[in-house]
Chains A and B, each alone.
Chain A
Amino acid sequence: MTEAKKTPLLDDLEKGPWPSFVTEMKKAAANNLSAQDLLGQLELSYEDKKAHWKHGGLVGVMGYGGGVIGRYSDVPEQFPNVEHFHTVRINQPSGWYYNTKALRQVCDVWEKYGSGLTNLHGSTGDLVLLGTKTEHIQTIFDEVSSFEEHPMDLGGSGSNLRTPSCCAGPARCEFALFDTTDLCHELTNEFQDYLHRPMWPYKSKIKISGCPNDCVASIARSDFSFQGTWRDDIKIDQEAVRAYAEGGFDIQGLVIDKCPTKCMSFDGSELKIDNANCTRCMHCINKMCKALRPGDDRGATILIGGKAPILQGAMMGWVIVPFMKIEPPYEEVKEFLEKCWEWWDENGKTRERIGELILRLGMRNFLRAIEREPIPQMVVAPRANPFFFWWPEETVQD
């Protein structure tokens, strides 16, 4: 062991009530040289107020084009044990449900070949193993992928399908309107090739939420956002509604008056909902979950285009499919995704997300390519300018 470096700036972050990442790193550093050097390099970054990683890095395993993010220190003389500090993305189980066996065996591998530091989880969802050397990457992959029980595969990185993720779903949420965990698992398996071998203009993400509460933030952080919804009536247990009222819950003030479409009323004994005008925002159900339940005709709304600012500005997904039934074997979902990807792959420029491509070529081209009719639900408001294009066949030549 090299002598532990002094880290006064980082030590400050061990104070206070929140669990300290510095304390965690020190625990790992007790038995691991690269965790120790990482603390040292981080302290240096705190002093210099800048990162000490070199630009880029390209490493991987045989047969895959992604899954590992190469990283090299720019001060390797000072911190030789983080000269290589690659990140391995492991595809998480749907909804992040583990048993201890699964976690123990990945920890065993990681203690042997890595820094012992992890990120549970990366924001896309992967189980992230932080910091290893190039020569260990293939071994780590070979070992985690051949566990007898709960073998694990790499997640996505690069211009490919990134690891899909989903909310906790019906495993423990009564709002879940379809089996998010199953769809997530099924799509991950179906599209393994797209996930492991980058072939597209840029990254593409899928996130799956069981209801419009959108607990995986799919609308903001995925190109393809699935949100559970229903199209029949909200189920009302009037007895339970009255129990809320009797318990002193202000139904009028906290539910009726907050309804965005004002489609509810409560006369003190009976709650009424004009379902035709309900936009399924979830507020009343969230507030009175013992009395109200989503309807029985269930499926999902699919929104497209969510992305961070680069290049054309941040976007949230917008509605392309207001309602689709989501049932195994999910043929309709898969077909829909394939059509979207095909059009994007054919037309997209290098590093152009699908949302930006739709912006560039227009919804009419996109919808025609995926064979869908434009419908009012796709827009917040009709266009405010008259610069409208017609398809040639729609015009009459004199």
Chain B
Amino acid sequence: MAFIEVAGQQIEVDEDGFLLNPDTWTEDVAKYFSKEEGIDELTEDHWKVIKYLRDYFFQFGIAPMVRKLCKDTGFSLKGIYELFPTGPAKGACKLAGLPKPTGCV
């Protein structure tokens, strides 16, 4: 498995760059990923989505459905894509340190 180095820490990721362990996430990890997901700077809105995703994940053990994400954060899907150009799964979930979405993608 591959490792990324963030703020002096070695963190294990899979081949798509997702964290293998959500507990190894730090704000620096999100900043590190933001570059490769087409985000110039992480704004308050970005953090709001990231924080929501992490809270939801640690409470329910899964990522929220897209509709739920939009409703709870108040962003439209279009708004989410404006924040995270690669989308809620590849973009936002990755920055939030959640496990890689699976299934028939």
Q: Are B67 and A346 neighbours in the complex by a CB distance under 8 Å?
A: yes
CB distance from A320 to the nearest CB of B (A): 23
A381 contacts across to B, CB distance below 8 A: none
Chain A residue nearest to B18 (CB atoms) is A58
Kindly state whether residue B87 has any CB partner on chain A within 8 Å: yes
Kindly state whether residue A283 has any CB partner on chain B within 8 Å: no
The complex places the Cα of A346 from the Cα of B90 at a distance, in Å, of 23
Interface flags, B76-103, vs A, CB<8A=1, else 0: 0110010001111110000000001111
Q: Are B90 and A63 neighbours in the complex by a CB distance under 8 Å?
A: no
Kindly state whether residue A157 has any CB partner on chain B within 8 Å: yes
B66 contacts across to A, CB distance below 8 A: 159, 198-200
Query: With contacts A65-B90, A159-B66, A350-B65 known, is A58 near B77, CB below 8 A?
Result: no
Identify whether the interface residues of B are mostly helix, strand, loop, or mixed. loop
The complex places the Cα of A55 from the Cα of B14 at a distance, in Å, of 11
Q: How many interface residues does chain B have, given as a range? A: 20 to 34
Q: Are A60 and B87 neighbours in the complex by a CB distance under 8 Å?
A: yes
- Interface size of A by CB at 8 A reads 31
Kindly state whether residue A197 has any CB partner on chain B within 8 Å: yes
The complex places the Cα of A61 from the Cα of B101 at a distance, in Å, of 16
A54 contacts across to B, CB distance below 8 A: 15
Q: Are A64 and B62 neighbours in the complex by a CB distance under 8 Å?
A: no
B38 contacts across to A, CB distance below 8 A: 62
Selected contact of A158 from candidates B15, B18, B81, B105, CB within 8 Å? B105
A70 contacts across to B, CB distance below 8 A: 16, 105
Kindly state whether residue B7 has any CB partner on chain A within 8 Å: no
Q: Are A197 and B81 neighbours in the complex by a CB distance under 8 Å?
A: yes
CB distance from A332 to the nearest CB of B (A): 25
CB distance from B37 to the nearest CB of A (A): 9
Scan residues 178-197 of chain A and give those whose CB is less than 8 A from a CB of chain B: 193, 197
Q: Are A62 and B105 neighbours in the complex by a CB distance under 8 Å?
A: no
The complex places the Cα of A64 from the Cα of B81 at a distance, in Å, of 8
A59 contacts across to B, CB distance below 8 A: 16, 90
CB distance from A116 to the nearest CB of B (A): 23
CB distance from A38 to the nearest CB of B (A): 18
A63 contacts across to B, CB distance below 8 A: 81, 85-86
Scan residues 260-286 of chain A and give those whose CB is less than 8 A from a CB of chain B: none
The complex places the Cα of A64 from the Cα of B84 at a distance, in Å, of 10
Query: With contacts A159-B66, A201-B65 known, is A56 near B100, CB below 8 A?
Result: yes
Kindly state whether residue A207 has any CB partner on chain B within 8 Å: no
Kindly state whether residue A315 has any CB partner on chain B within 8 Å: no
B101 contacts across to A, CB distance below 8 A: 58
The complex places the Cα of A345 from the Cα of B104 at a distance, in Å, of 18
Query: With contacts A58-B16, A199-B77 known, is A345 near B102, CB below 8 A?
Result: no
15 contacts between A and B (CB under 8 A): A54-B15, A58-B90, A58-B100, A60-B87, A62-B86, A63-B86, A69-B105, A72-B15, A158-B104, A158-B105, A197-B77, A199-B66, A199-B70, A345-B67, A346-B67
